[in-house]
């Protein structure tokens, strides 16, 4: 059955709308990925999503660049996810399922595969990956999907979507929705959607983020001081920190960074 027979027009419409919503949050790699994960999970009925960037997929030894986890606060055990990151750090080839997925990825960049597409139940339930990671987390059925990042040799953006223990497998349509979703945002990563290799607003202190929001909204130093109830000197110190963080020489360069990449002014990272 072809992809066109599996996907619905409403699926594609929802995914393009989601890409636009992510663009509005695109200045922070964590914010847009959390939103993407939540909406994609809703579309395919996933309980848990891990989304981020990896290096070394083509070489068969994936390493984490940055990631977010969505859904861990709904009863899943974060210890399992931390265990997966630990295993990945000292033995990137520990996961048979990931190794099997990499073979599919090498053959077709951006392909999505379910756990049941990658290995039979008999091998899966006795594997280290299930026994030490998935069972600890509380998950089982899974979809993998990664796609190369433009102009970034052997670095990928992707997501792993999981359902809780004893839930049914994802459908073929679910798999295609995930693949199409990652395909739509792929050209935006590193452009409209910030990467983990870039300085992020979320890495600043709360007060610095609030000053940054004021700068992006066009406030002068005196306006910022009045708005945030801090001294002009303090505003100046935060402004210097912001310029150093983003590697710019002044306000014009800072503003140009947002304008050039068509980022909005939602600044959700400025709130507690």
261 plus 184 within the same structural domain: no
Residues of the domain holding 216: 201-270
Q: Render pLDDT for 180-234 as a digit per residue (tens, 0 to 9).
A: 999 999 999 999 999 999 999 999 999 999 999 999 999 999 999 999 999 999 9
Q: Is 196 part of a structural domain of the chain? A: no
As a whole number, mean pLDDT of residues 76-101 equals 85
CATH code where residue 224 lies? 1.10.10.10
As a whole number, mean pLDDT of residues 129-154 equals 93
260 plus 148 within the same structural domain: no
Mean pLDDT of the residues in the chain: 92
CATH code where residue 16 lies? 3.30.450.40
Read off the pLDDT band of 61 (50, 70, 90).
confident
Q: Strand, coil or helix: what is 65?
A: strand
Nearest 5°: the CA angle 220, 226, 230 is 105
Q: And the tokens for 48? A: 């848990």
Q: Is 65 part of a structural domain of the chain? A: yes
Q: Is 266 part of a structural domain of the chain? A: yes
Give the model's pLDDT for residue 1.
47
159 plus 237 within the same structural domain: no
Q: Is 227 part of a structural domain of the chain? A: yes
44 plus 150 within the same structural domain: yes
Pairing of strands 112-114, 63-70: unpaired
89 plus 129 within the same structural domain: yes
Task: For residue 46, give the DSSP letter.
Answer: -
Domains of the chain: total: 2
The continuous run of DSSP H or E covering 114 comes out as: strand 112-114
60 plus 162 within the same structural domain: yes
Cβ distance 177 to 112 under 8 Å? no
Give the model's pLDDT for residue 82.
87
Q: Strand, coil or helix: what is 237?
A: helix
pLDDT greater than 50 at residue 101? yes
Give the integer Cα–Cα distance in Å for 88 and 81. 11
Q: Is 243 part of a structural domain of the chain? A: yes
215 plus 150 within the same structural domain: no
Q: Is 7 part of a structural domain of the chain? A: yes
Q: Is 194 part of a structural domain of the chain? A: no
Give the model's pLDDT for residue 41.
98
| Last-in-domain residue among 139, 161, 188 | 188
Q: What is the pTM of this model?
A: 0.90
Q: Is 195 part of a structural domain of the chain? A: no
pLDDT greater than 90 at residue 5? no
């Amino acid at each position: 059955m072809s992809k066109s027979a599996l996907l619905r027009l409403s699926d594609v419409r929802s995914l393009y709308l989601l890409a636009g919503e992510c663009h509005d949050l695109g200045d922070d790699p964590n914010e847009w990925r959390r939103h993407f994960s939540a909406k994609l999970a809703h579309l395919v009925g996933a309980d848990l999503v891990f989304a981020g960037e990896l290096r070394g997929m083509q070489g068969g030894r994936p390493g984490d660049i940055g990631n977010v986890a969505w859904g861990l606060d709904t009863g899943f055990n974060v210890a399992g996810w931390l265990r997966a990151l630990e295993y990945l750090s000292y033995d990137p080839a520990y996961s048979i399922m990931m190794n099997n997925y990499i073979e599919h990825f090498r053959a077709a960049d951006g392909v999505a595969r379910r756990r049941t597409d990658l290995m039979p139940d008999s091998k899966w339930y006795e594997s280290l990956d299930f026994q030490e990671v998935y069972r600890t987390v509380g998950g089982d059925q899974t979809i993998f999907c990664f796609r190369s990042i433009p102009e970034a040799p052997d670095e990928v953006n992707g997501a792993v979507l999981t359902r809780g223990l004893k839930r049914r497998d994802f459908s073929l349509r679910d798999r295609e929705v995930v693949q199409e979703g990652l395909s739509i945002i792929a050209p935006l990563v590193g452009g409209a959607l910030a990467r983990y290799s870039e300085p992020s607003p979320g890495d600043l202190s709360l007060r610095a983020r609030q000053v940054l929001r004021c700068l992006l909204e066009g406030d002068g130093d005196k306006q910022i001081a009045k708005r945030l109830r801090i001294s002009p000197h303090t505003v100046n110190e935060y402004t210097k920190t912001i310029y150093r963080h983003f590697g710019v020489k002044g306000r014009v360069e800072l503003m140009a960074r947002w304008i050039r990449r068509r980022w909005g002014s939602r600044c959700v990272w400025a709130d507690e």
